[in-house]
């Protein structure tokens, strides 16, 4: 079941608080409590992965005001799990427990979330939801176990610090449905980005792929928020806001071979914005083939290692890469007669590359500037200060028939830096742009300003 967020709620901390009469300098928790949830967004998208496996149910939840979100994968009964952690900055809950390798199946759910370490609240929230709903209890052999990991989706990609909390995670858990997984900027991947190591700052999301061989089923899920670039099977970079002096039809090896120069802010003579340098890719492999704890661990290591083909570079110091491997134990044999970990690992590794590629959405763009034909006096309608959150505000002024923007809060408003007025060039009715490497546009709507209208828009309210 999908709950769409009203257009007004796509904004803003300020809008959410003003509507309820709560002071705008209130606590973050007060803001979180007012947020509108979107559940199972993207399940109607034609690109969503569909598969026949009643044992798995998936639920997603989003706060579009962030945007940020959570993805919950729950199992029909307790299952075996293993984990491979290799990023330099992982954030996990209960992951070390899986390394103990106990014989009995104990895992109920895997939770993937945005919100950096604050988003880990989503994992324990799913655990308490199982108990609150009477599905699990306090007896030693019926205690619920959810594990999970987070990505960093704060920083320069949005103008607030909303995070996926207990309320959102429990709603996503309860909305879970079998056989469908939305790919792209949904759930935990709602504000994912890739390529920050090189200043690509491309939008990303979550991906998935499925294959059945005889009775054996294998499905993989991933939230791609990597410091490196997503790379296709021809070695080409799939998504990147490339600099003007960069090679056309950019290949990953060109970026890697040019390092450390390509890691700087002015490679080939073009100065870029400070890149996003906190990232993570979090993933899950599930098979119905029975596997021991040692076999699951080796499967996790093998598939995680393979991901360095589709993400280059992978598992850096500023990534927190984690992969979970799960066996539901429904099938005792197959897919072939050889070593089960190698067979399933080979298939799952190719599926994971497919999933990585499926996570990449259409990249945002901005319209070109046009020669203004409007009345300069109309610009006065836009002159005011707009507030996005306690962290970010934008002052709009008019001078000499031109419009300017200046960030006045704690942080920049993307291309608009603190204390440095920048001209907003007209691009259409009530719409203005700042030409540059990264798309930046604004649209004025009554008492609101919409920055980068579209899937990742940020809305400020007159203050």
Count of beta carbons in the 10 Å neighbourhood of residue 434: 20
For residue 92, CA distances in Å to 87, 97, 120, 322 come to 11, 11, 7, 8
The closest alpha carbon to 363, from 207, 194, 173, 233, belongs to 194
CB atoms within 10 A of CB 103: 8
Residue whose pair of structure tokens reads 């927190």 in the numeric block: 320
Q: Cis (ω within 30 of 0) for the bond into 160?
A: no
Q: List, in order, residues 6 or more apart from 243 with CB less than 8 Å away.
A: 199, 267, 268, 270, 272, 437
**Are residues 323 and 83 in contact, defined by beta-carbon separation less than 8 angstroms?**
yes
In Å, what is the CA distance from 174 to each residue of 88, 336, 392?
A: 33, 37, 34
155 Ramachandran zone, left/alpha/beta (phi>0; psi -120 to 50): left
- Phi-psi group of 116: left, alpha or beta (phi > 0 → left; psi -120 to 50 → alpha; rest → beta): left
Give the three-class secondary structure for 311. Answer: strand
- According to DSSP, residue 237 is labeled B
> Do residues 185 and 205 lie in contact, with contact meaning Cβ atoms separated by under 8 Å?
yes
Longest dimension (CA), the chain: 78
Does residue 231 have an active-site annotation?
no
Which residues, 6+ apart, have CB-to-CB distance to 377 below 8 Å? Answer: none
Report DSSP state, residue 160: S
Q: Which of 60, 68, 280, 461 is catalytic?
A: 280
Give the residue numbers marked as catalytic: 280
């Amino acid at each position: 079941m999908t709950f769409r967020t009203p257009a007004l709620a796509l904004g803003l901390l300020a809008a959410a608080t003003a509507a309820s009469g709560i002071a705008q300098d209130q606590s973050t928790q007060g803001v979180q409590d007012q947020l509108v949830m979107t559940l199972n967004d993207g399940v109607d998208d034609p690109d969503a992965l569909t598969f026949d496996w009643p044992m798995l149910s998936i639920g997603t939840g989003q706060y579009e005001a962030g945007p940020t979100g959570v993805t919950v994968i729950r199992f029909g009964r307790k299952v075996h799990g293993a984990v491979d952690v290799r990023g330099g900055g992982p954030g996990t809950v209960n992951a070390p427990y899986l390394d103990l390798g106990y014989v009995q199946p104990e895992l109920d759910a895997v939770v993937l979330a945005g919100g950096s370490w604050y988003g880990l609240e989503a994992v324990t929230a799913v655990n308490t939801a199982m108990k609150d709903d009477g599905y699990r209890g306090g007896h030693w052999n019926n205690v619920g176990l959810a594990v999970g990991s987070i990505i960093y989706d704060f920083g320069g990609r949005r103008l607030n610090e909303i995070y996926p909390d207990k309320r959102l995670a429990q709603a996503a858990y309860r909305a879970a449905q079998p056989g469908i997984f939305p790919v792209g900027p949904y759930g935990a991947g709602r504000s994912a980005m890739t390529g920050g190591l090189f200043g690509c700052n491309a939008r990303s999301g979550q991906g998935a792929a499925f294959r059945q061989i005889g009775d054996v089923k294998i499905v993989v899920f991933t939230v791609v928020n990597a410091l490196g670039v997503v790379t296709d099977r021809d070695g080409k970079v799939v998504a990147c806001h490339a600099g003007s002096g960069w090679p056309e039809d950019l290949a990953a090896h060109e970026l890697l071979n040019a390092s450390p120069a390509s890691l700087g802010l002015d490679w080939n003579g073009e100065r870029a914005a400070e890149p996003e340098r906190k990232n993570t890719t979090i993933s899950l492999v599930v098979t119905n083939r029975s596997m021991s704890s040692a076999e699951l661990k080796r499967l996790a290591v093998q598939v995680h290692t393979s991901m360095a083909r589709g993400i280059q570079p992978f598992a850096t110091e500023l990534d927190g890469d984690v992969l979970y491997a799960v066996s539901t134990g429904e099938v005792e044999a197959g897919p072939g007669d050889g070593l089960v970990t190698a067979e399933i690992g080979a298939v799952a590794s190719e599926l994971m590359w497919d999933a990585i590629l499926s996570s990449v959405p259409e990249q945002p763009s901005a319209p070109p500037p046009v020669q203004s034909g409007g009345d300069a006096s109309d610009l006065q309608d836009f002159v005011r200060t707009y507030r996005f959150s306690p962290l970010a505000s934008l002052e709009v002024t008019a001078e000499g028939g031109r419009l300017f923007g200046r960030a006045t809060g704690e942080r920049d408003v993307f291309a608009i830096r603190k204390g440095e007025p920048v001209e907003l060039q007209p691009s259409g009715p009530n719409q203005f742009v700042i030409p540059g490497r990264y798309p930046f546009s604004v649209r004025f709507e009554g008492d609101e300003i919409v920055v980068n209208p579209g899937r990742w828009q940020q809305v400020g309210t007159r203050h």
